[in-house]
């Protein structure tokens, strides 16, 4: 049965000097409003034990615009500033519900620069997008078409550390479930192989971080030699950011291809609930674990399965998938990471990862 989902389409664009200046000012004002509101909320929470609502923060924003210190906030569109307060409200709601940590301040250097515009702050006609406070539409590279008749409800403009400009259009789209299939698969995430399937197939891990490690190290050494605050240091930082962006883009592209294939070919996909945050604390495995992006792969599987009528089952992280014989069910006492192949007392010889994937599939089907 077809369903309507909200989906974001992301495109590169190339702003004119005037548009780049206006957006840079907007980014700065968004960051300032977020940080000032966070400071006020923190003060009220720490000193008075009081929670500040979005309405109070919005009233404070109006007062800030009228003050002499930050009256320049009135020079940019008010919508991105209000959206920053809404995002802060969401961050505090997640914190008080124990779904996230306490909100942190946005850094000018480390935070991704972005601004969100709702329907009243942009015009979209005939494939041309014009933001508030701008006279000309953005020069967008339409790398893929929007769904026919789609009207963006929210537009998010961002600039990454590599200096690239992006615009994300949030639209409502009708998705049709894929034709049901009989196949199910268990997926064991790994380092040597990105994913091992219960069918015995091992999906190779391209290790994009390792492939560009030499180039990244060279760029980082050049950055370390530059004088702080100099133009040459800014250029060196940009070169480092471009290497990181290349790694991230290639990794994301590969994950999209892998997850799309798994969703198309299988009705049920069983995966393991991995605690990536704890695993990267292991200094010996941190780089390799980060290069696999297991969390991003699971996130892709989650929303693609929901879109196309597939079922994703997450198996408990404490399930002994590696130590359990998939043939007879015998549980081994120990299974060090160095053991890649082992023989059960029943006589079956197991590949560690394939056996784990088979057990994950069996546990996933049992939980349905």
Catalytic center residues: 188, 272, 353
Query: Beta strand pairing status for 140-141 and 3-13?
Result: antiparallel
Nearest C-alpha neighbor of 267 from the set 156, 155, 364, 131: 364
Helices and strands (H and E) in the chain: how many: 10, 14
Q: State the Cα angle at 97 between 91 and 102, rounded to 5°.
A: 45
**Nearest-angstrom CA–CA distance, 48 and 230:** 43
CB 198 within 8 A of CB 186: yes
Query: What are the start-end ranges of the E strands in 58-212?
Result: 113-118, 122-125, 128-131, 140-141, 154-159, 165-175, 184-189, 193-197, 202-204
For residue 139 the two structure tokens come to 């020069």
Element (H, E) at 64: helix 54-66
Q: Could you count the other beta carbons within 10 Å of the beta carbon of residue 66?
A: 10
**Nearest-angstrom CA–CA distance, 11 and 85:** 25
- Ramachandran category for residue 22: left, alpha or beta (phi over 0 → left; psi -120 to 50 → alpha): alpha
């Amino acid at each position: 049965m077809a369903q309507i989902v909200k989906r974001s389409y992301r495109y590169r664009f190339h702003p004119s000097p005037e548009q780049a200046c206006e957006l840079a000012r907007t980014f700065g004002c968004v960051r300032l409003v977020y940080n000032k509101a966070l400071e006020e909320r923190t003060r009220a929470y720490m000193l008075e034990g009081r929670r500040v609502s979005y309405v109070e923060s919005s009233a404070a924003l109006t007062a800030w615009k009228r003050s002499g210190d930050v009256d320049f906030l009135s020079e940019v569109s008010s919508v991105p500033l209000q959206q920053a307060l809404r995002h802060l409200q969401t961050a505090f709601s997640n914190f008080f519900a124990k779904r996230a940590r306490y909100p942190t301040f946005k850094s000018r250097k480390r935070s991704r620069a972005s601004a969100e515009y709702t329907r009243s702050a942009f015009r979209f006609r005939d494939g041309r997008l014009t933001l508030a406070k701008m006279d000309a539409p953005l020069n967008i590279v339409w790398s893929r078409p929007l769904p026919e008749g789609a009207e963006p409800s929210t537009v998010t403009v961002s600039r990454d550390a590599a200096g690239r400009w992006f615009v994300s259009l949030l639209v409502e789209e009708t998705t049709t479930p894929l034709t049901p299939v009989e196949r199910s698969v268990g997926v064991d995430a790994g380092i040597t192989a990105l994913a091992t399937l219960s069918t015995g197939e091992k999906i190779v891990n391209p290790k994009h971080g390792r492939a560009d490690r030499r180039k990244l190290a060279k760029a980082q050494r050049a950055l370390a030699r530059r004088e702080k605050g100099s133009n040459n240091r800014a250029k060196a930082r940009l070169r480092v950011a471009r290497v990181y962006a290349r790694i991230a883009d290639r990794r994301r592209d590969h994950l999209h291809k892998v997850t799309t294939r798994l969703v198309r070919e299988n009705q049920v996909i069983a995966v393991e609930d991995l605690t990536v945050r704890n695993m990267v604390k292991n200094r010996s495995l941190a780089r390799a674990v980060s290069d696999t992006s297991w969390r991003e792969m699971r996130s892709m599987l989650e929303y693609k399965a929901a879109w196309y009528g597939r079922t994703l089952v997450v198996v408990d992280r404490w399930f002994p998938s590696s130590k359990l014989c998939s043939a007879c069910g015998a549980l081994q006492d120990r299974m060090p990471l160095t053991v890649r192949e082992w023989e059960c007392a029943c006589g079956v010889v197991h590949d560690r990862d394939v056996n784990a994937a088979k057990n994950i599939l069996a546990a996933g089907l049992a939980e349905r």
